[in-house]
């Protein structure tokens, strides 16, 4: 059976690539190499999640490197910090190292679990993988794993695998936290608006009820006094 080295960005995203590649007849080895996951505690959580997936699915796992300092990573970007643009500089070292290792260890091809995520820049990942393939004379197997997005989510929840809240680097962490804050503020504003609307509607009903009662009381008084 042909052997393939699967670069894994995290445990949850590796599930469906593993399943699909095996169904195609590949013998899969997973390679966890993601030094630009910040902070270090988050890197450890994702590494441990990958170890759990490897154990549960009985797949060989290679590990290399450790989390780099977030500040040093941002400095190394040379001012390219915009989401999308900086991502290429994140994919590149991972694809280069995977391609080189695949060649050194005699794998028939390499690929990456990054191709599973709907939140990643798919075309950029392809470009960088093909670039690394040419650079290290290591065949790249392209597969679009995104159609199995919901299957992967269901499987990760069933296995109880840690699911991260942001892409990886410290910049994406800050962006995710900001988005969460903005979402919470929108939710709070919507809740306050709804409460205010319900209060207005309740007040309108009260005033209407009082007006109806006042008219009824007036009719009763005029009727008793014989006034027409």
Confidence of residue 51 (pLDDT cuts 50, 70, 90): very high
Q: Which pLDDT does position 224 carry in this prediction? A: 65
CATH 3.40.50.620 for the 3-168 domain, yes or no: yes
Q: Which pLDDT does position 173 carry in this prediction? A: 86
Helix 122-136 with 85-104: angle, nearest 10 deg: 40
Three-state DSSP at 26 gives: coil
pLDDT at 177 over 90: no
Tokens of 39: 């902070």
Q: Scan for tokens 């990573």, then name that residue.
A: 73
Tokens of 211: 């007006």
User: How high is the mean pLDDT of the chain?
Assistant: 92
Report CA-CA distances (Å) from 120 to 87, 123, 148, 218.
9, 9, 15, 71
Q: Which pLDDT does position 181 carry in this prediction? A: 85
Q: DSSP for 41-104?
A: HHHHHHHHHHHHHHHHHT--EEE---PPPHHHHHHHTTT--STTHHHHHHHHHHHHHHHHHHHH
Which of 2-6, 17-21, 61-65, 200-204 has the lowest average pLDDT? 200-204
User: What's the pTM value of the predicted model, to 2 decimals?
Assistant: 0.81
> To which H or E segment does residue 28 belong?
strand 27-32
Q: Scan for tokens 């902070």, then name that residue.
A: 39
Confidence of residue 225 (pLDDT cuts 50, 70, 90): low
Rounded distance between C-alpha atoms, residue 132 and residue 96, angstroms: 5
């Amino acid at each position: 059976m042909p052997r393939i080295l699967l670069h894994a960005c995290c445990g949850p995203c590796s599930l469906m690539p593993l399943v699909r590649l095996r169904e195609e007849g590949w013998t899969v080895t997973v390679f966890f190499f993601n030094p630009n996951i910040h902070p270090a505690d988050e890197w450890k959580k994702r590494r441990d999640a990958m170890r759990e997936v490897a154990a549960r699915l009985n797949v060989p796992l290679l590990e290399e490197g450790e989390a780099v300092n977030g500040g040093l990573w941002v400095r190394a970007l040379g001012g390219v910090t915009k989401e999308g643009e900086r991502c290429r500089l994140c994919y590149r070292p991972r694809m280069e190292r995977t391609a080189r290792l695949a060649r050194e260890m005699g794998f028939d091809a390499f690929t990456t679990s990054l191709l599973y995520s709907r939140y990643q820049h798919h075309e950029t990942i392809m470009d960088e993988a093909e670039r690394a393939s040419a650079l290290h004379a290591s065949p790249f197997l392209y597969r679009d794993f995104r159609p199995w997005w919901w299957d992967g989510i269901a499987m990760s929840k069933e296995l109880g695998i840690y699911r991260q809240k942001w892409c990886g680097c410290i910049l994406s962490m800050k962006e995710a936290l900001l988005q969460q804050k903005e979402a919470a503020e929108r939710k709070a504003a919507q809740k306050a608006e709804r409460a205010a609307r319900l209060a207005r509607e309740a007040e309108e009903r009260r005033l209407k009820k009082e007006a109806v009662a006042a008219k009824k009381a007036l009719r009763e008084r005029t009727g008793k006094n014989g006034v027409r």
